[in-house]
Amino acid sequence: MPDFLKLEKELNINFQNKDLLTQAFCHRSYLNERQGFSQCDNERLAFLGDAVLELVISQYLFDVYPEEDKGLLTRKRAALVDNKMLFSIARELDFGSFLLLSQGMQKETEKARQGILATTFEAFIGALYLDQGQGYKVCQDFLKKYLVPKLPDILDNHDFIDAKSRFQEFALKKEKSTPHYKVLKHWGPDHAKQFISGVFLGDKLIAEGEGRSKQEVERAAAKNGLKAMGWK
């Protein structure tokens, strides 16, 4: 069992209910190998954490950018809370060392673990919210410390700009073709599905994107498509 006391010390957070913290790191595959384990997997906590995460970031952007319209705020929020960003933060916090995974899942590739760590980050936020007595302020402080500082890099890289719109503009101008998107693969339960979609010009697959919703993966595919085609 991972040393969750070490994680609490590193994050300077004290969980009253240690079972909640353990559950946040428990992947469903772990339960398949340990039938007597008393914890549930982390998917319900991730569902709650996703909502808390979006609210905290929405309020932050609403307060900091009073002149911006809904569309721009939405794009900035999407860039902050997408799968790759949450994975990046979870990796920085070494969440991977505390994961409860089956033997098989421990051997999975880095790409496969991205979705697991992103979900774990959401589950941690959900657990933190519940443990601290509906602790919105605690979650707010945590996200402002670890996630919000990534915003300047997002703005510098223009990650908040709608990649699908840009890709379509370039495709129409340079290729005289309208791009279309297709789901290539999906897995996981209904409330925590993962998708891989491709962006196509005609019958040609240009690039793929991965994420937790069709909208997210299409944005990722378009962004990767811009790089693949050399369209800046």
State the catalytic residue, choosing from 41, 50, 210, 218: 50
Q: Which amino acid is at 162?
A: D
State the catalytic residue, choosing from 82, 122, 131, 159: 122
Is 218 considered catalytic here? no
Kindly list the catalytic residues.
50, 122
